[in-house]
């Protein structure tokens, strides 16, 4: 039976699942894809930065695409936390043991 993840080892302790998903998406270079309320909390708490918007054009005209990023210190913590989840660490150690 799989273990429940330890909440203290989660990449974003104290955050809702929607906030964690948005942070994970932005950490991977994708748009947050969350509700305005969730996005507002992440911006207010300083976990995301509004980078303005990029103007794009298509057959119907111009439109703006908002852009968000993590501050460097937040991104560093995010990378450290998600680098080796328990299952990934077990796979990594198994690979190391299998090396000549």
Write down how long the chain is: 100
Instruction: Encode the chain (100 residues) as per-residue pLDDT tens digits.
Output: 444 555 444 556 678 889 989 998 998 889 999 999 999 999 999 999 999 998 999 999 999 989 999 999 999 888 877 776 667 767 767 777 776 5
Q: If DSSP codes are grouped into helix, strand and coil, which group holds residue 69?
A: strand
Q: Tell me, yes or no, if the pTM score tops 0.85.
A: no
Please tell me the distance from the alpha carbon of residue 96 to that of residue 82, in angstroms, as a whole number: 19
């Amino acid at each position: 039976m799989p273990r429940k993840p330890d909440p203290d080892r989660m990449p974003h302790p104290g955050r809702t699942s929607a906030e964690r998903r948005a942070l994970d998406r932005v950490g991977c270079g994708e748009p947050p894809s969350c509700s305005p309320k969730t996005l507002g909390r992440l911006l207010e708490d300083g976990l995301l930065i509004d980078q303005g918007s990029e103007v794009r054009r298509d057959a119907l005209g111009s439109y703006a695409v908002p852009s968000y990023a993590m501050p460097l210190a937040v991104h560093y913590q995010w990378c450290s936390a998600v680098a080796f989840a328990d299952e990934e660490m077990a796979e990594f150690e198994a690979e190391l043991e299998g090396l000549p």
